Amino acid sequence: MRAIPFLIAGLLVSGCASSPTVQSQKYAKLSTQQTLEDPMEKVYPAVEEALRNIHVAERNPDEKPNAVEMQKLTEATWETDWVYSQSQNKYIEYKVNGFPRKKYLQLRVKYHVVAKTEIGGTHVEVKAQEEVERLAKDGTPDGWDSAGEPDTALGRRMLDQVAKNILAAAP
């Protein structure tokens, strides 16, 4: 009878160990927020252009404001649907014939962009919600897990694209 709790604990531990441990490359953290020295009238279309090829699930305001509404707009938000790609820093390690290998995992990301007017410009912050595909021991997909700490490079790339779009639209 005393062995039953140990048997149950052993089954739980072996069940949790079915997928390899996700590891992450250690890269420097990048800033995912910046105050752009431009008014909302320039930042809003630059964010829209940066998200042009991504399905935006929610935005506030719902529709692009006209010129008068844009003058009064102090905050705008966008949230995308999942964007799928391959991770640049999340992987699992395994061995083939005794030699170590890495497999970079499939990734999905939701972006949440917030633009707020402030003295001197518009503050833009890009938050990325990142999940990696869990793999079973045989290499087949086994669902999705939170990636823990998101890769700040994802948000930074989006922020840089917004800044580039502002410069590209300049007369």
pTM for this predicted structure: 0.81
**Cα distances (angstroms) measured from residue 15 to each of 20, 77, 133, 141, 152:** 12, 41, 18, 16, 32
Given a cut of 70, is residue 18 above it in pLDDT? Answer: no
For the chain, give the mean pLDDT.
86
Paired residues of 94 in beta bridges: 101
pLDDT (tens digit per residue) in 112-157: 999 999 999 999 999 999 999 988 888 889 899 888 788 899 999 9
Domain ranges of the chain: 19-169
CATH code of the domain occupying 19-169: 3.30.530.50
